[in-house]
Structure 1
Amino acid sequence: MIPSDHFTRFYNEVFKFIEQQGERELDDYFLEISKNQENHILHLIREKGFEGMLQYWSVIRDEENCDLDLGYDEDKFEIKMHLCPSLTKAKDNDAERWERYCDHCAGWIGPIMDKTGYHLVYDVIDRDQPQCHMRVYKDEAKAREAEMDVRLLMGWPGRKQS
């Protein structure tokens, strides 16, 4: 098994390689990651909604040692990543970080939210800072309104543009 420090660096190189093959190939790759992740989260979202999201990302927070806040109210589920261990490891790399490294998160999360009827607003804030702010809304109008405050909005394959 590959250690997480090496996995992140490997992933970084895979992203660079696939991007060289073309934008469509990169979208297809993110969609495949998304399909795989459905095995872990889709049933939680469909059965428990925001509580299922909290359950899933609480495990990720603990397993990946993320410095983040999780929570939800009646309108939205929210993650505030204060220090992303994945981007931090990718940046600590003599092979240079893929410039769009953060795209992979929205690339797999967005299609799942689309399939479940939720609306993702993913603010990377700054590609060089290991932090982000993810919000998931039940109401599409509230999601579009929230996009007005985003510094760097991430898209994903198949995202409906407003």
Structure 2
Amino acid sequence: MIPSDHFTRFYNEVFKFLESKGQEDLDLYWLEISKNQEKHILDLIRTKGLQGMYEYWSVIEEEENCELDLMVDDEHLELHMHGCPSLAKVMDNDAAPMTRYCDHCAGWIGPIMDKTGYHLVYDVISRTEPRCVMRIFKDADKAKEAEKSVQLLMGWPGKKAAT
């Protein structure tokens, strides 16, 4: 098993390589990651909805030692990542982060939300700060309204960013 410090660097270099071959290759890779992640979260979403998502990201918060706030109500889930350990580790390496490193989160989460009928609004805020805001809505109109306040909206394979 690769230690997490090395894994994020490896991931970053894979992203750079695929991006150099073209956006389509990178999108296909993120879709494969999404299919793999379905094994961990799809049943939780289908059986428990937003509460299942909350359970999943609560575990991730502990496992990855994330600095985040997570809340859920009947209409949406909201995650404020204050200190993303993945981007922080990549930035601490001697190799520069891939310019769109943060897109990999929306790249795997977005297709799962599409598949389950939820609506993802993913605000990466900045490509150089390890923080973001992710909102997942039951209602498409509420998601569209939330997109209006986004600083840097991330798209994913199948749905490109609006800004």
The TM tier, using the shorter chain, reads over 0.9
After superposition, give the CA deviation of every residue in 1:11-51 in whole Å (9 maximum; x if it has no partner): 00000001111111111000000000000000100100011
Query: For residues 62 and 32 of structure 1, what CA distance do their matches in structure 2 show?
Result: 25
Shift, 1:159, TM fit: 1.4
2:105 equivalent to 1:99: no
Aligned to 1:70: 70
Once the two structures are superposed, the pairs formed by residues 47-58 of structure 1 within 5 Å of their partners are 47-58=47-58
CA RMSD of aligned residues (A): 1.1
Shift, 1:93, TM fit: 1.2
Superposition misfits of 4+ residues, deviation over 4 angstroms = none
Aligned to 1:146: 146
Shift, 1:161, TM fit: 7.3
Once the two structures are superposed, the pairs formed by residues 6-155 of structure 1 within 5 Å of their partners are 6-155=6-155
Secondary structure (helix, strand or coil) at the match of 1:149 reads coil
For structure 1, the 5+ residue unaligned runs are none
CA contact (8 A) 2:9 2:93 kept: yes
CA contact (8 A) 2:153 2:161 kept: no
TM-score in terms of structure 1 length = 0.98
After superposition, give the CA deviation of every residue in 1:114-146 in whole Å (9 maximum; x if it has no partner): 000000000000110100000000000000000
CA contact (8 A) 2:5 2:89 kept: yes
How much identity, in percent, do the aligned residues show? 69
